[in-house]
Amino acid sequence: MFSILVAEDDKTLNRMICTKLKQAQYQVFPAFDGQEALELMEKEHIDLIISDVMMPRMDGIELTSALRGAKMTLPILIITAKGQMEDMEKGFRAGTDDYMVKPIKLRELLLRVEALLRRAQLMSEKHLTIRGTVLDYSSLTVQTGGQVDTLPPKEFYLLFKLLNQPGRIFTRQELLDEIWGVDKETDSRNVDAHVKKLRHRFANHPDFVIETVRGLGYKAVFKEQSL
């Protein structure tokens, strides 16, 4: 069971978020400011943090900066007031992974949490070896023999996802939700564009190829090895 810390000084909203997360079978720990969140993390293992930006004692940006400064890589989702674009920008610079604007939709919050946890789970695996190819999540590199390619983040995440389950068909929507999150500014064309870039980059790769499954999506398959 994943453990989620909810840092929100609005007690009603905090309770609503915690209730929704518990219904989704998460273990939940409430905190009402950043300092309390840090103190709680000294006692409990936390897999993901949901944090409001504006809080007493220590706000969400300061909390994020403190955690990233301590080399903690757990996913952080910040919640900001409507129209506070500056808060969002500060949050991403501090190291947050995603954000939502109040008033939040609890169903959307769950979708974002699921996507962040899946991404974090992939990151924890660090390396993926496919025959003679090694994918390193921490450095975003693909090494085949003596050649090392450093990929843009979205291209790497997409390739890692496909190769992590070779032969499985992923729909465009699955990949969109997984790699881009619940972002209204993106659509399935982003997936198609990134697959096209990967195919061009690895057109003559000896170990794998990305195939289109007509009407469904994409899958990665191993190439037959010559004897």
Secondary element (H or E) of residue 99: strand 98-101
CB-facing half-sphere around the CA of 145: CA atoms within 13 A:
4
Q: Which carries the bigger pLDDT value, residue 124 or residue 15?
A: 15
User: Confidence class of residue 36 from pLDDT cuts 50, 70 and 90?
Assistant: very high
User: Confidence class of residue 227 from pLDDT cuts 50, 70 and 90?
Assistant: very low
Model confidence pLDDT, tens digit, residues 43-58: 888 999 999 999 998 9
What's the pLDDT score for residue 21?
96
With both helix axes pointing from N to C terminus, report the angle between 60-69 and 34-41 in degrees, rounded to the nearest 10. 30
Mean pLDDT of 202-224: 90
Mean pLDDT of 71-81: 89
Structure tokens at 200: 């061009």
Q: Which carries the bigger pLDDT value, residue 182 or residue 221?
A: 221
97 CB-near residues (< 8 Å, 6+ apart): 75, 76, 77, 116, 119
What's the pLDDT score for residue 215?
86
What's the pLDDT score for residue 190?
87
Mean pLDDT of 29-46: 93
Model confidence pLDDT, tens digit, residues 178-195: 787 655 567 788 899 999
What's the pLDDT score for residue 226?
41
* Structural domains in the chain, sorted by start: 3-122 (3.40.50.2300), 126-222 (1.10.10.10)
Four-residue CA torsion sign, 158, 161, 165, 170:
negative
pLDDT over 80 (residue 87) = no
Four-residue CA torsion sign, 134, 138, 140, 146:
negative
What's the pLDDT score for residue 122?
63
Residue type for 201, please? R
Q: Is 148 helix (H, G, I), strand (E, B) or coil?
A: strand
What's the pLDDT score for residue 220?
93
